[in-house]
Structure 1
């Protein structure tokens, strides 16, 4: 058995600098079967870098404080304090703080504590295809993301 205080978990932020506080609780406790991350989102910050899906993980978000906005391919949903939202593998989503107040919450992913980078797909505009298309994601040696269009194969580092 292990335990940890959330404030004792080191902060690790997204390489795209989309949030200032992300505490990977699953790393701190050595989880193997699901991921757990704690977030504090200032106004304008987000859980991730944009509209994306995990083909190898379902994700559940619990909003402990405030109201988070979740964009999907077809809709935009508000998740209030004390509410939970689930995204199945393959569901595109982007959660962010669109208010003037702090959002505090948790993100959970299963069935593994880490997802495979090649199982993440981001919906972004492709300058070559001139359309919003899925892009594969990989982490470079420098710690940045490289995005590759699933349609034409062009890639770039934002």
Structure 2
């Protein structure tokens, strides 16, 4: 048995005001667990993406999240859950004025191949991207795999970073 306080887990550099990775501190071996707090405009993920082998469930504890999906935007309100199957593209946002608090659960623990799509102004379209840690892991930068152009940057103290 492992017990922890979410506030005792270090905040990760993400496009969310707060993202605490709970998997390792809890010692789970088959389930990924992440806690999020999104300010207005924040996102759960760096890009519109999918997971090859992992299904993902988001439980919205407080506020309202809007998920981009292949079927269009889906609004998920406080007390609701949404599940994304393996291979299904999605990206969740806080499009409202109030903070969003949520848990994300993924199983199995491994993602498999993950496809990330972001808008590239050089290519003028959604393109595949790769993420790179820079400045001693205090900065995450997204690069278009077609042209190499930068499509986003996130760093400690400022989680906003859609387009440089």
TM-score, normalised with respect to structure 2: 0.78
Q: Distance in 2 between matches of 1:124 and 1:154?
A: 13
Structure 2 counterpart of 1:115, from 105, 111, 115: 111
Q: Kindly tell me the number of residue pairs found equivalent between the two proteins.
A: 148
Runs of at least 4 residues off by over 6 Å:
none
- Aligned match of 1:35: 32
Q: 2:125 pairs with 94, 110, 131, which one?
A: 131
Match for 2:87 among 87, 90, 93? 90
Distance in 2 of aligned mates of 1:56 and 1:139: 22
Given that 1:61 and 1:105 are in contact with CA atoms closer than 8 Å, whether structure 2 keeps it comes out as yes
Deviation at 1:54, TM superposition (A): 1.4
Does residue 81 (structure 1) correspond to residue 78 (structure 2)? The answer is: yes
TM-score with structure 1 setting the length: 0.81
Alignment partners' CA distance in 1, 2:13 and 2:17: 6
SS of 1:7's equivalent in the other structure is helix
Gaps of 5+ in 1: none
Please report the RMSD computed on the Cα atoms of aligned residues, expressed in angstroms: 2.1
Unaligned runs of 5+ in 2: 153-164
Q: Displacement, 1:56? A: 2.6
